[in-house]
Structure 1
Amino acid sequence: MDGSALPVNADAAPNNLEPFWMPFTWNRRFKQEPLLLASAKGMYYTSVEGEQILDGTAGLWCCNAGHRREPIVRAVQETVEHLDFAPTFQLGHPLPFELANRLSAMVPGDYDHVAFCNSGSEAVDSALKIALAYHRVRGDAARTRLIGRERGYHGVGFGGISVGGIVKNRMFFGPLLNGVDHIRSTHDLERNAYSRGQPEHGVEFADELERLVALHDPSTIAAVIVEPVAGSTGVLIPPKGYLERLRAICDKYGILLIFDEVITGFGRLGSAFGTEHFGVQPDLITCAKGLTNGVIPMGAVICRKGIYEAFTDWADETGQTIELFHGYTYSGHPVAAAAGLATLALYQEEQLFQRAADLAPYWEQAVHGLKGTRHVIDLRNIGLIAGIELESRPGKVGARGYEAFRKAFEAGALIRVTGDIIALSPPLIIEKAEIDRLFQTVRDVLQALD
């Protein structure tokens, strides 16, 4: 563990914190009592006060290989010394081509093309646009409707919040995209509380898609987007058979199925992606976060065979037609691509996906060891993910969760909370003793909370 200080030009004094409008943060409260990180190494952050903080969240679901891993750092440094930026509009450089090859090969099934972007939010918006354009170039332009899911999180682009289903993410921004509807959430505390892995009850929730198909007519629906495991809304795990049924309904009506794997990708479930873990193949996969281990921002859309070909079949055979009018200045950025290549190599070299699968039973026991702890009303787990649902204080939803977050940090552990649900998702390099420490800290914090 490394407690090195902030760079010399960085000032940790609280009176210098005001200009930064922080994302998804209670800014006034934070700036009164800031929690600031100075460095990170392996499983640990170090605060500006020099305290070591066990990372129970892989940063923000992204540092799957742990922090400041030398092969990734070296790849970034070496690349930026030779090529800081290169455009990918009618031009290119080798790195994103190699990364696309390796990334598509990681996904079981017939996935053959990758479009790069800069974040999970951009990956979602890209996937939605690809889905809409796919139907149009095939002569099926009436398919313009998108279906999301209640309590789904798909980033903060207008497309993502339109198909997303978290109220506070949507309520401030007007009518959003037209032609969007939502199937219901799979959360069913009454029947599925304290499930281990996939819940037994709830496959019928997928039939909500049949109702929307009948309401809107299948010829108008372009795509359905879901997270295989809904993470940011509080770790909602799909009931047994649910994803399979969604796939079957989409196949029945010619609807594209999109898996948002920004969280479930890159070993979080003990497999490369959720599609492998659940044995269900979507048409498009969005990913980010663990793609570069969080070192450099990058996202991607992985396309099943036939998607890309629909555009090339449509385009002018002279090669003078741009197949898809979409992309970003930084799509396939050289430094990000180098970080991605080094990250994928590290996952393979250290067999981190298999390591997560091997640790999952021990993790499950630790999660459910919290049953009976004060304020806990549900526990759920899959892979190296845990959801700990707390009873809310009357009229103060989220207050207990936020206090738990602050007190856990003070006790030396970083957890994530959404409302009154604690979400845990540590780096895949975590040791059993660190799992024990993480859950003991959570237990102590909850027992001391009002």
Structure 2
Amino acid sequence: MNTVARGPEFMVARAEGVWLWDASGDRYLDGTASLWYCNVGHGRTEIADAVHRQISTLDAYTVYGDFSNGPAVELSERLAAHAPVADPRVILTSGGGEAIETAAKLARRYWAVTGQPGRTHLISRTGGYHGLHGFGTSISGMDRFRHGYGRVVEDTSVVPHDSAAALEAEILRVGPERVAAYFAEPVIGSGGVYPPREDYFTEVARICRKYGVLFVVDSVICGFARLGNWFGIERFGVSPDMVVFAKGVSSGYLPLGGIVVGGRVADPFYNGEGNAFMHGTTYAGHPTACAAAMANLDILEREDLFTVSLEVERHLDVALQGLASHPLVAEVRSGVGVMGAVELTEEALSGRGITTAEVFAEARARGVIVRAIPTSLLVSPPLVITWEQIDHLVSTLSAALDAVAARH
């Protein structure tokens, strides 16, 4: 709000492919796929046509109780067919934040209906981002998103993102009989693009099984070909109890998210008398949003963006690593998924008073949108970006770094 109060807003007027235009007609490369979500690129008429057809037939209706609709069922079946969980069921929501709320409540409720109501503790990891609803705020791995609100949700803790041993130690500290679930992104996204260490998730899955802790994967950023597969976590060869998804499932054309729930967690609610899961959201299973998602998934499969994204990943990695020798750059993190982070040096940030917001502004002034977090610049372009456009993105970011360095 303070940013808007200081000056005019940046008005996005239209978009096509990897490009945006502002209200003045100036063009910008969308180096972040908006907020990590526009995987198939902007302006896909196939999705617009699918939305028009559906909204003209059945715009929206609740899926509470035994109500349902064709697009919601078809989408759920399609997602379940590709999900890396055993005996999958799908709960749909309006987005990732709602899906995290649902997964956290379901984890606690599962233990309550299976005779262990004391298992309410939720563990997450540093740098992790899980939306900013109540549970998401409470399990955030970034202090700046939690401070100033008091204790939103009790019984949560955070462990170092790169240590499976730290997770096991925390389970033992809290007491396995009190731990409900562990939440982790396949690759930490908004917290700075941190790929997992080798065998990290293999160890995490083993530890969760050992102590009976539910393993919940937050694939909101990593899913739908950004890591070259459907949900991101497949790349690491493990099968979680729940997978949370959103963003790329519809490429953001309409708001949609959800959870794929394994049979272990779902069965007590399907087969146990009186085990109601008293939870729901108004727009869950929204038929028009589901139609948009189905058209989006058609594009992902028809254009084989699952394979294409691996090629984009390699080219983006090579291009970004060229910035590693820049005097302002401490580290470049890339090479796992179509995403990357350019970390500034402590000397630049503290010694010279440079901010990532300055670099962001310089890049935007040159026609490229990146994302600034406190110490890094993040990129996560649409999967349809070309090699030439990647090189333009990175060379513009380099020029922005040069301009800020010269000013300081």
Q: Shift of residue 306 of structure 1?
A: 2.1
Structure 1 residues 394, 436: CA separation in 2 closer, same or farther (over 3 Å shift)?
closer
Amino acid at match of 1:249: I
1:386 to 322, 340, 365: 340
Q: Does structure 2 retain, via aligned residues, the 8 Å contact 1:271–1:357?
A: no
C-alpha separation between the residues in 2 aligned to 1:281 and 1:405?
A: 38
Aligned residue number for residue 193 of structure 1: none
Amino acid at match of 1:28: A
Q: Shift of residue 343 of structure 1?
A: 0.8
Amino acid at match of 1:244: T
Aligned residue number for residue 196 of structure 1: none
Structure 2's unaligned 5+ residue stretches are none
Aligned residue number for residue 266 of structure 2: 308
Q: Does structure 2 retain, via aligned residues, the 8 Å contact 1:263–1:289?
A: yes
Aligned residue number for residue 200 of structure 2: 242
C-alpha separation between the residues in 1 aligned to 2:166 and 2:266?
A: 30
Aligned residue number for residue 157 of structure 1: 133
| More moved, 435-444 vs 268-277 | 268-277
1:250-269 to 2 correspondences below 5 Å: 250-269=208-227
Aligned residue number for residue 291 of structure 2: 338
Amino acid at match of 1:44: W
Root-mean-square deviation (CA), in Å?
Answer: 1.7
**Are residues 1:167 and 2:143 paired?**
yes
SS at match of 2:88: strand
**Are residues 1:26 and 2:26 paired?**
no
Q: Shift of residue 106 of structure 1?
A: 1.9
Q: Shift of residue 391 of structure 1?
A: 2.1
Aligned residue number for residue 42 of structure 2: 67
Amino acid at match of 2:386: E
SS at match of 2:183: strand
Q: Shift of residue 49 of structure 1?
A: 1.1
**Are residues 1:445 and 2:394 paired?**
no
C-alpha separation between the residues in 2 aligned to 1:40 and 1:212?
A: 46
Q: Shift of residue 399 of structure 1?
A: 5.2
CA deviation string 1:187-221 (max 9, x = no partner): xxxxxxxxxxxxxxxxxx11111211221110111
Aligned residue number for residue 276 of structure 2: 323
Q: Shift of residue 315 of structure 1?
A: 2.4
C-alpha separation between the residues in 2 aligned to 1:329 and 1:33?
A: 34
1:49 to 24, 32, 46: 24
Aligned residue number for residue 68 of structure 2: 92
Aligned residue number for residue 39 of structure 1: 14
Amino acid at match of 1:61: W
2:97 to 121, 143, 146: 121
Amino acid at match of 1:433: E
| More moved, 60-69 vs 236-245 | 236-245
Q: Shift of residue 151 of structure 1?
A: 2.0
C-alpha separation between the residues in 1 aligned to 2:271 and 2:289?
A: 31
C-alpha separation between the residues in 1 aligned to 2:150 and 2:353?
A: 25
Q: Does structure 2 retain, via aligned residues, the 8 Å contact 1:400–1:449?
A: no
Structure-1-length-normalised TM-score: 0.86
Structure 1 residues 362, 177: CA separation in 2 closer, same or farther (over 3 Å shift)?
same
C-alpha separation between the residues in 1 aligned to 2:351 and 2:231?
A: 36
Structure 1 residues 385, 111: CA separation in 2 closer, same or farther (over 3 Å shift)?
farther
C-alpha separation between the residues in 1 aligned to 2:304 and 2:82?
A: 13
C-alpha separation between the residues in 2 aligned to 1:175 and 1:136?
A: 22
| More moved, 304-313 vs 288-297 | 304-313
C-alpha separation between the residues in 2 aligned to 1:340 and 1:145?
A: 33
C-alpha separation between the residues in 2 aligned to 1:397 and 1:278?
A: 40
| More moved, 107-116 vs 95-104 | 107-116
1:275-424 to 2 correspondences below 5 Å: 275-316=233-274, 323-381=276-334, 382-392=336-346, 393=348, 395=350, 400-424=355-379
Amino acid at match of 2:75: L
